[in-house]
Structure 1
Amino acid sequence: MTSRASLSALARDLAAGTVVFLVALPLCLGIARASGAEPLAGLVSGIVGGIVVAALSGSRLSVSGPAAGLVVIVVDGIARLGSFSAFLIAVLLAGVLQFGFGMLKAGRLASYVPTPVIKGMLAAIGLMLVIKQIPLALGLTSGNETGSLTHALESISPIVCTVTVISLAILAGWETRALRRFTLVRLVPAPLVVVLAGVSATLVCGSLGSAFALPVEQRVALPAIESFAALGDALQFGEFELSVARFADPEIWIVALTLAVVASLETLLSLEAVEQIDPQRRAAPPNRELKAQGVGNIVAGAIGGLPITSVIVRSSANVHAGAQSRLSAIVHGVLLLVSVFALTDVINMIPLASLAAILIHTGLKLAKPSLFVALAKQGAAPFTPFIVTIASVLATDLLTGIMLGVLCSAGLALWANLHRPIALARHDDHFLVSFRKDVSFLGKVPLEQMLAHIPDRATVIVDTSRADYIDYDVRELLDRFIAEAPLRSIAVEVRHAAAVLPPATRSGI
Structure 2
Amino acid sequence: MKNNLFSSLKDDLPAGLVVFLVAVPLCLGIALASGAPLFSGIIAGMVGGIVVTSFSGSQLGVSGPAAGLAVIVLAAIQDLGSFDIFLMAVVIAGVIQVVLGILRAGIIGYYFPSSVIKGMLAAIGIIIFLKQIPHAFGYDADPEGDLGFIQADGENTFSELLNMLNFISPGAITIATLSLAILIIWEQKFMKKIKVFQIVQGPLVVVVTGIVLGMVFQGSDMAITADHMVSIPVADSLAGFANQFTLPDFTAITNPQVWVVGITMAIVASLETLLCVEATDKLDPQKRVTPPSQELRAQGIGNMVAGLIGGLPVTQVIVRSSANIQSGGKTRMSALFHGLLILFSALLIPNVLNLIPLASLAAILLVVGYKLAKPALFKQMYKTGWKQFIPFVVTVLAIVFTDLLVGIGIGLAVAIVFILFNNLKNPYILKNTHDQSNKHFRIVLSEQVTFLNKAQILKELNRIPENTELLIDGSKTVSIEHDVLEIIADFKESAKFKNIDLKLYGMENLDFNGYDDVLGELVVDHAVVKNMPSDEAMETKIPNVLSSN
Relative to structure 2, which stretch is displaced further, 339-348 or 105-114? 105-114
Q: 1:363 to 1:17 in 2, by over 3 A?
A: closer
Query: How far apart are the structure 1 equivalents of 2:163 and 2:171?
Result: 18
**Shift in Å, 1:292:** 1.3
Counterpart for residue 189 of structure 2: 177
Counterpart for residue 262 of structure 1: 272
Query: How far apart are the structure 2 equivalents of 1:34 and 1:341?
Result: 19
Give the residue type in structure 2 aligned to 1:264. L
Does 2:406 correspond to 1:400? yes
Q: 1:287 to 1:260 in 2, by over 3 A?
A: closer
Q: TM-score normalised to the size of structure 1?
A: 0.67
The one-character-per-residue Cα deviations of 1:361-388 (angstroms, maximum 9, x if unpaired) are 2222222222112111221110111122
Q: 1:314 to 1:192 in 2, by over 3 A?
A: same
Q: Which one of 19, 29, 32 corresponds to residue 24 of structure 1?
A: 19
Counterpart for residue 113 of structure 2: 114
8 A contact 1:57–1:292 mirrored in 2: yes
Relative to structure 2, which stretch is displaced further, 11-20 or 171-180? 11-20
The one-character-per-residue Cα deviations of 1:170-226 (angstroms, maximum 9, x if unpaired) are 2333222232222232222332222111111111112xx253321111111112235
Query: How far apart are the structure 2 equivalents of 1:106 and 1:437?
Result: 29
Q: 1:343 to 1:17 in 2, by over 3 A?
A: farther
SS of the equivalent of 2:231 reads coil
C-alpha RMSD of the superposition: 3.9
**Shift in Å, 1:33:** 4.7
Counterpart for residue 62 of structure 2: 64
8 A contact 1:97–1:260 mirrored in 2: no
Q: TM-score normalised to the size of structure 2?
A: 0.63
Query: How far apart are the structure 2 equivalents of 1:327 and 1:136?
Result: 30
Query: How far apart are the structure 2 equivalents of 1:385 and 1:362?
Result: 23
**Shift in Å, 1:135:** 2.2
1:207-222 maps to which residues of 2 (within 5 A)?
209-222=219-232
Counterpart for residue 455 of structure 1: none
8 A contact 1:48–1:299 mirrored in 2: yes
8 A contact 1:164–1:357 mirrored in 2: yes
Counterpart for residue 354 of structure 1: 360
8 A contact 2:270–2:315 mirrored in 1: no
Counterpart for residue 126 of structure 1: 125
SS of the equivalent of 1:107 reads helix
8 A contact 1:58–1:284 mirrored in 2: yes
Q: 1:308 to 1:145 in 2, by over 3 A?
A: closer
SS of the equivalent of 1:66 reads strand
Q: Which one of 26, 30, 39 corresponds to residue 35 of structure 1?
A: 30
8 A contact 2:273–2:315 mirrored in 1: yes
Does 2:232 correspond to 1:225? no
Q: 1:417 to 1:327 in 2, by over 3 A?
A: closer
Does 2:391 correspond to 1:382? no
8 A contact 1:20–1:318 mirrored in 2: yes
Q: 1:226 to 1:239 in 2, by over 3 A?
A: farther
Q: 1:363 to 1:41 in 2, by over 3 A?
A: farther
8 A contact 1:393–1:402 mirrored in 2: yes
* Structure 2: tracts of 5 or more residues without a match: 143-151, 428-445, 449-475, 479-549
**Shift in Å, 1:259:** 2.3
Q: Which one of 293, 316, 341 corresponds to residue 309 of structure 1?
A: 316
Counterpart for residue 414 of structure 1: 420
1:217-296 maps to which residues of 2 (within 5 A)?
217-225=227-235, 227-238=237-248, 242=252, 244=255, 246-249=257-260, 253-254=263-264, 256-271=266-281, 273-274=283-284, 276-277=285-286, 285-296=291-302
8 A contact 1:375–1:383 mirrored in 2: yes
Give the residue type in structure 2 aligned to 1:313. A
**Shift in Å, 1:284:** 5.4
Give the residue type in structure 1 aligned to 2:286. I
**Shift in Å, 1:414:** 2.2
The one-character-per-residue Cα deviations of 1:140-187 (angstroms, maximum 9, x if unpaired) are 243996699987534211111111222222233322223222223222
Counterpart for residue 369 of structure 1: 375
Query: How far apart are the structure 1 equivalents of 2:212 and 2:76?
Result: 39
Give the residue type in structure 2 aligned to 1:52. V
The one-character-per-residue Cα deviations of 1:84-111 (angstroms, maximum 9, x if unpaired) are 9488677555534432332122333323
**Shift in Å, 1:233:** 2.0
8 A contact 2:398–2:407 mirrored in 1: yes
8 A contact 2:89–2:259 mirrored in 1: no
Query: How far apart are the structure 2 equivalents of 1:66 and 1:294?
Result: 12
- Aligned-residue identity in percent: 34
8 A contact 2:41–2:311 mirrored in 1: no
Query: How far apart are the structure 2 equivalents of 1:78 and 1:134?
Result: 27
Give the residue type in structure 2 aligned to 1:118. I
8 A contact 2:92–2:259 mirrored in 1: no
Counterpart for residue 467 of structure 2: none
Query: How far apart are the structure 1 equivalents of 2:296 and 2:426?
Result: 42
SS of the equivalent of 1:204 reads helix
**Shift in Å, 1:118:** 0.5
**Shift in Å, 1:277:** 2.8
Give the residue type in structure 1 aligned to 2:369. G
SS of the equivalent of 1:350 reads coil
8 A contact 1:30–1:356 mirrored in 2: no
Give the residue type in structure 2 aligned to 1:171. L
Counterpart for residue 451 of structure 2: none
**Shift in Å, 1:286:** 3.7
8 A contact 1:89–1:301 mirrored in 2: yes
Relative to structure 2, which stretch is displaced further, 408-417 or 223-232? 223-232
1:2-151 maps to which residues of 2 (within 5 A)?
18-35=13-30, 37=32, 40-58=39-57, 61-62=59-60, 64-66=62-64, 70-71=66-67, 73-78=68-73, 81=76, 85=83, 92=91, 94-142=93-141
Counterpart for residue 145 of structure 2: none
The one-character-per-residue Cα deviations of 1:436-464 (angstroms, maximum 9, x if unpaired) are 978xxxxxxxxxxxxxxxxxxxxxxxxxx
Tell me the number of residue pairs that the alignment of Structure 1 and Structure 2 aligns: 404
**Shift in Å, 1:261:** 0.5
